């Protein structure tokens, strides 16, 4: 599984620029679905048809393909690039980092001089150095996007890399599809690899409106409470998948939460309950689109979210796969 994670996380794909990651995922799943399509916004949608004789539900599984990034909004006469954010980019994680543009150009991020080193400049006082000596010889243009550049590696059970939010959710979806390849599912399951989640769950919104799911499950990362001086949360790395009860954008469907807990307990899958104070996921889009859906989220615990060095535990990733397989391969009775 690590090779798949490494492959997915290292590829370029900021929100709105998912054209490199989408075909990579499509190659992984082309033999695992009954139908595959790409909608107008760029969502990759893979349908595995239910074979049950009774009433069928439409189940939507959403994992977003995009990552946070930056976009050039000004080029100085000296050839330095000013930029704005694509998604939740934190200024404190930028200085000395590297970004890569779609054309392969690599740049180093730095900030204007600080007289007080205890402070951090805002994004508007940062710049990217791509080696240009003037505006005229700059290899990128205003409007060009870049993603953060960082290798992915494993250290024991821990996987460290950029874009684990949410390429790790994509990994869970892909591995679940593999596990269910020969299974006869009761319900129609739509695996949606969504776009533009980091800028407002846009892809999942259009996909959910088109599909009209009865049940929606997002696959995404969540914060942990076990990092040094971190948020107070009952979620830790290595303690299992996290079943979301609430975040700032949604309250998960109680029946779906209870079903997740039951399936996990029955299969002896380690799990934790997630209550997230800030942030939300594609589950919010599914819950509110069309006539609404019973929505929830399977979360992968992750340290240092929205930094170039996010950290997950491979045991939690496997527990998330096991839980999703247990849900989809059994009756969904809410």
Q: Known catalytic residues?
A: 197
Look at the chain and count its residues. 334
Contact at 8 Å (CB) between 150 and 308? yes
Q: How far apart are CA 147 and CA 103, in angstroms?
A: 11
Residues 268, 270, 275, 278, Cα dihedral to 10°: -130
* Residue 166, C-beta contacts closer than 8 angstroms, at least 6 positions apart: 63, 64, 65, 66, 67, 197, 219, 220, 221
What is each CA distance from 321 to 31, 155, 194, in whole angstroms? 19, 21, 18
Dihedrals phi, psi of 43, to nearest 5 degrees: -65, 140
Nearest to 165 by CA among 205, 121, 99, 218: 218
What is each CA distance from 128 to 119, 180, 225, in whole angstroms? 19, 45, 33
* Residue 315, C-beta contacts closer than 8 angstroms, at least 6 positions apart: 157, 238, 240, 270
For the beta carbon of residue 78, count every other beta carbon within 10 angstroms: 12
The β-bridge partners of 311 are 160, 303
Say how many CA atoms lie within 13 Å of 183 toward its Cβ.
Answer: 20
Nearest to 99 by CA among 78, 72, 74, 117: 72
Contact at 8 Å (CB) between 286 and 203? no
């Amino acid at each position: 599984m690590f090779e798949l994670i490494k492959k997915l996380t290292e590829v370029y794909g900021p929100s709105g620029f998912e054209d490199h990651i989408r075909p990579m995922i499509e190659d992984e799943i082309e033999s695992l679905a009954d139908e595959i399509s790409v909608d107008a916004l760029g969502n990759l949608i893979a349908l595995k048809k239910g074979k049950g004789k009774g009433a069928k539900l439409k189940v939507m599984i959403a994992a977003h393909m995009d990552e946070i990034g930056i976009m050039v909004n000004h080029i100085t006469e000296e050839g330095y690039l000013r930029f704005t954010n694509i998604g939740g980019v934190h200024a404190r994680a930028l200085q000395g980092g590297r970004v890569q543009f779609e054309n392969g150009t690599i740049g180093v991020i730095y900030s204007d001089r600080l007289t007080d080193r205890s402070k951090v400049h805002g994004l508007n006082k940062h710049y990217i150095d791509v080696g240009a000596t003037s505006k005229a010889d700059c290899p990128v243009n205003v409007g060009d996007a870049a993603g953060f550049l960082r290798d992915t590696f494993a250290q024991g059970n821990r996987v460290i890399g950029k874009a684990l939010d949410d390429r790790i959710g994509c990994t869970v979806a892909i591995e679940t599809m593999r596990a269910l390849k020969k299974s006869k599912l009761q319900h129609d399951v739509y695996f949606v690899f969504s776009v533009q989640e980091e800028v407002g769950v846009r892809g999942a919104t259009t996909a959910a409106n088109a599909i009209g799911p009865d049940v929606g499950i997002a696959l995404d990362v969540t914060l942990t409470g076990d990092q040094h001086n971190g948020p107070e949360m009952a979620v830790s790395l290595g303690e299992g998948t996290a079943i979301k009860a609430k975040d700032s954008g949604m309250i998960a469907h109680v029946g779906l939460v209870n079903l997740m807990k039951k399936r996990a307990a029955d299969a002896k899958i380690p799990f934790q309950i997630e209550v997230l104070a800030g942030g939300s996921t594609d589950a919010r889009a599914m819950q509110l689109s069309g006539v609404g859906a019973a929505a929830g989220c399977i979360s992968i615990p992750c340290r240092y979210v929205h930094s170039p060095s996010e950290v997950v535990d491979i045991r939690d990733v496997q527990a998330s796969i096991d839980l999703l397989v247990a849900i989809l391969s059994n009756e969904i009775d809410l």
